[in-house]
Amino acid sequence: MINKKLRSGTVLALLLLSAAMLHVPRAYADVQAKVVKIERLTHDVKRIRFRAANDDFKFTAGQFILLKLPESYLKEFNKEHGTNHENVSRPYSFASAPSEAPYFDVIIKHYPAPRDKDVPPGLASSFVHEKLHAGDAVTFSDPMGSLYMPNDSTDPIILVAGGVGASPFIGLLKHWFDEKLNEKRKIYLFFGANSRRDLFLLDDLNDWSRSKANFEYVPALSRPDPADEWKGETGYINVVLGKHFEGPLAADVYLAGAPIMVSETIKILHAKGVPDSRIHHDPIKVE
């Protein structure tokens, strides 16, 4: 079921579907992998490169994988925070091209405890940001999901990301450049973040927009810091997208980010006549 891409009608439908279909516990096969490299991309985002133990490890563009948290870490976390977690997995999107397997990247944002609440910090993201080191071995599920649905259209492809939602799009863009899809279709990446310090891989994306045919990168800041001296687009990414394309729009659109960003962008796409069959995103929750 999880492998079936959800096409959204309304946010309510999405929430009901995810509740009904995605919370069903399942048994997944295991993938063992070792951390090859950890890079800090922003103040709260890291990119981790893994190598799967199995040389034949494969995934398809747009998939994600479940990181299984070690029981020893869960015990330590439970003791420190008075929680009772066991058998916890969290989904993370591939941020590298399938051609790089058995190596693969994930880009993970850290969620510390909110300052105004007495609650524990993010369980999985704290493990990745605070406990994981090069050389460590971890366990994942088999790859799953099918965000990318190839078709024969030559209409533009539009990627709309909020924050760490850009992560699967880094993998998709690498794949599409490998496949030279940008020679057949115009590809846009709209990347929304709060301020300049939240935009990751800015240099790579700017390089691609100069060197790759038909690729346009549109970063936008919703709360630019005056120190950013930001000259680019400002405002929420859905609004920036709406202004960029006047009138009806014929395109395949991929969305990733906070549920509110996804639902607001879908409203704009519907107003521009983009049918649900051309609007793609991952399930909002996977367990």
Q: Which residues bind ligand FAD (CB under 6 A)?
A: 64, 90-93, 106-109, 111, 113-114, 117, 119-125, 164, 167, 282-286
Smallest separation, CB 157 to ligand FAD (Å) = 19
Closer by beta carbon to ligand FAD, 67 or else 253: 67
DSSP secondary structure, 87-142, as one string: S-EEEEE--S-GGGTTEEEEEEE--PPPTTS--PPPHHHHIIIII--TT-EEEEE-
Tokens 């496949």, residue located: 179
- Helices 259-271 and 237-244 cross at an angle (nearest 10°) of 20
Closer by beta carbon to ligand FAD, 147 or else 157: 147
Closer by beta carbon to ligand FAD, 167 or else 222: 167
Smallest separation, CB 227 to ligand FAD (Å) = 26
Q: Of all residues in this chain, which one has the CB nearest to ligand FAD in the complex? A: 122
Smallest separation, CB 87 to ligand FAD (Å) = 13
Smallest separation, CB 2 to ligand FAD (Å) = 9
Closer by beta carbon to ligand FAD, 242 or else 257: 257
Residue 134, judged by CB atoms within 10 A of its CB (0-12, 13-18, 19+), counts as exposed
Beta strand spans in the chain (E): 30-42, 45-52, 64-68, 89-93, 103-109, 137-141, 157-162, 187-193, 215-221, 233-234, 252-256, 279-280
Smallest separation, CB 145 to ligand FAD (Å) = 6
Closer by beta carbon to ligand FAD, 164 or else 266: 164
